[in-house]
Amino acid sequence: MSAVAASGESLAAISNFVFPNDLHVHWSLMIVLYPYITGLVAGAFIVSSLYHVFHIKSLKPVAQFSLLFALAFLICATWPLMNHLGHPERAMSMMLTPNPTSAMAGFGYIYSAYFIVLLLEIIFIFRPTVVALGAKATGFMKTVYTILAIGSDNVSAKALKLDHKIISFLAAIGIPMACVLHGYVGFIFGGIKANPLWATPLMPLIFLLSACVSGIAGIILTYIILMKVSGKKVDIECVQTLIKFLWGFFILDFVFEMLELFSHFYMATHHWHTLEALYSGPLFTTFWVYQVGIFSVIPFFLLMAMSLIKFKDGILLFFAPIVSIMILLQVILMRWNVVVGGQLMSKSERGATTFHPMWFEKEGIAVAIFIMIAPVVILWLIGKVLPFWQTEEGTETA
Distances in Å between the alpha carbon of 70 and those of 111, 159, 175, 219? 13, 26, 13, 10
CA–CA distance, 3 with 349 (Å, rounded to integer) = 19
240 in contact with other proteins (CB under 8 A) = no
CA–CA distance, 14 with 22 (Å, rounded to integer) = 16
Residue pair 216/331 in contact by the 8 Å Cβ criterion: no
CB of 250 to other proteins, least distance (A): 29
CA–CA distance, 342 with 27 (Å, rounded to integer) = 10
Among 1, 2, 55, 86, binds other proteins (CB under 8 A): 86
CB of 374 to other proteins, least distance (A): 21
Q: What are phi and psi for residue 350, nearest 5 degrees?
A: -125, 5
258 in contact with other proteins (CB under 8 A) = no
CB of 18 to other proteins, least distance (A): 9
**Number of CB atoms found within 10 A of residue 294's CB:** 15
* Per-position DSSP letters for 352-376, written without gaps between them: B------SSSTTSHHHHHHHHHHHH
Residue placing its CB nearer to other proteins in the complex, 83 or 330: 83
Residue 164: its H or E element: helix 157-190
95 in contact with other proteins (CB under 8 A) = yes
CB of 93 to other proteins, least distance (A): 4
Q: What residues numbered 151-180 form the site for other proteins, per CB under 8 A?
A: 151-156, 158-159, 162, 166
Q: Would you give the binding string for other proteins spanning residues 14-53, x where CB under 8 A is met?
A: -x-x-xxxxxx-xx--------------------------
1 in contact with other proteins (CB under 8 A) = no
For residue 300, give the nearest of 257, 239, 237, 261 by alpha carbon: 257
Residue placing its CB nearer to other proteins in the complex, 193 or 356: 193
Name the residues that contact other proteins, by CB under 8 A: 7, 9-11, 13, 15, 17, 19-24, 26-27, 81, 84-88, 90-105, 107, 116, 120, 123, 127, 149-156, 158-159, 162, 166, 188, 191-195, 343, 346-350, 398
